[in-house]
């Protein structure tokens, strides 16, 4: 589904042009208007904790870190509240110091400083760098981080407890029967809220140790080494005696 927001205006018609880089043409099933509805794609605010600001005069920039952030979040919007009196226009970079993924934009007194992203992973090692150049640092009052609301349609039975395990390292695609009945799912479904989200360490599988065979036991191996060593010593002594007799 493609949802486009149009600003208010007196236009009677809008033209939408779709560019497709694939061989098969796109099949548009339906085009309509949606007004004053709850749509998927709304943002939910993520609490990154208190942020720390460090002004580096030598490099002429301001670095913002989030020491209280414990988890990695997929963010899609950052909102800066800056109450500087003089006008400003500063290049800003959001960068992860581990993966070096980054997004750059400009903070300006001429706009609302709300930045949109396409799935940027905001980790505890993420920093925001504001390039001040020869200007004094801007005074940042607050930073708000948002992520897109994402939904999973599940069949749950009443009176049972369920645990949702999110494993970012699992690259195996999932396949469930409910996918083939998506057109029969009602549009209005109960939405559950996730509470008590915490880290869960998956215990490593303990492989039972097998019993060593006779030839793998240390006593047997040392015995073989001694026998081979004694045989080599015997050969050396015999060779020395033969050499003495010939001499």
Mean pLDDT by 10 residues, the chain (247 residues): 70 82 81 62 86 90 93 91 87 91 92 89 94 92 90 84 72 75 80 75 72 78 87 86 76
171 occurs within a structural domain? no
CATH of the domain at 92: 2.60.120.260
Q: By C-alpha distance, which of 1, 37, 34, 44 is closest to 188?
A: 37
Q: Which domain holds residue 137?
A: 43-148
The pLDDT value given to residue 217:
79
The pLDDT value given to residue 179:
79
The pLDDT value given to residue 134:
92
Alpha carbon of residue 61 to chain centroid: 27
118 occurs within a structural domain? yes
| Predicted structure pTM score | 0.58
194 occurs within a structural domain? no
DSSP, collapsed to helix, strand or coil, labels residue 30 as: coil
The neighbour count for residue 118, using CB atoms within 10 Å, is 7
Task: Tell me if 128 sits within 8 A of 141, measured CB to CB.
Answer: no
19 occurs within a structural domain? no
The pLDDT value given to residue 216:
76
5 occurs within a structural domain? no
Residues in contact with 146: Cβ distance below 8 Å, sequence separation at least 6, in sequence order: 43, 44, 45, 46, 75, 76, 77, 78, 79
Residues in contact with 120: Cβ distance below 8 Å, sequence separation at least 6, in sequence order: 74, 75, 76, 94, 101, 103
The pLDDT value given to residue 171:
57
163 occurs within a structural domain? no
The pLDDT value given to residue 128:
95
136 occurs within a structural domain? yes
Cα(178)–Cα(107) distance, integer angstroms? 45
Please tell me the total count of domains within the chain.
1
101 occurs within a structural domain? yes
């Amino acid at each position: 589904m493609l949802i486009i927001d149009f600003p208010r205006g007196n236009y009677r018609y809008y033209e939408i042009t779709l560019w497709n880089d694939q061989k098969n043409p796109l099949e548009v099933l339906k085009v309509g208007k949606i007004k004053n509805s709850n749509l998927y794609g709304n943002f939910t605010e993520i609490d990154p904790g208190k942020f720390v600001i460090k002004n580096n005069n030598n490099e002429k920039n301001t670095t913002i870190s989030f020491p209280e952030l414990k988890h990695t979040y997929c963010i899609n919007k950052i909102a800066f509240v800056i109450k500087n009196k003089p006008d400003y226009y500063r290049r800003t970079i959001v960068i992860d110091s581990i993966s070096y993924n980054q997004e750059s934009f400009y903070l300006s007194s001429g706009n609302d400083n709300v930045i949109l992203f396409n799935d940027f992973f905001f980790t505890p090692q993420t920093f925001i760098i504001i390039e001040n150049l020869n200007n004094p640092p801007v005074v940042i009052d607050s930073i708000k981080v948002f992520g897109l609301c994402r939904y999973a349609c599940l069949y749950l039975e009443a009176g049972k407890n369920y645990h949702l395990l999110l494993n970012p390292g699992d690259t195996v695609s999932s396949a469930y029967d409910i996918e083939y009945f998506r057109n029969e799912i009602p549009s209005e479904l109960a939405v559950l809220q996730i509470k008590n989200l915490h880290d869960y360490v998956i215990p490593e599988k303990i492989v039972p140790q097998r019993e060593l065979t006779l030839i793998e036991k240390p006593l047997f191996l040392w015995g073989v080494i001694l026998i081979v060593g004694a045989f080599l010593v015997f050969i050396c002594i015999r060779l020395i005696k033969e050499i003495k007799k010939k001499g």
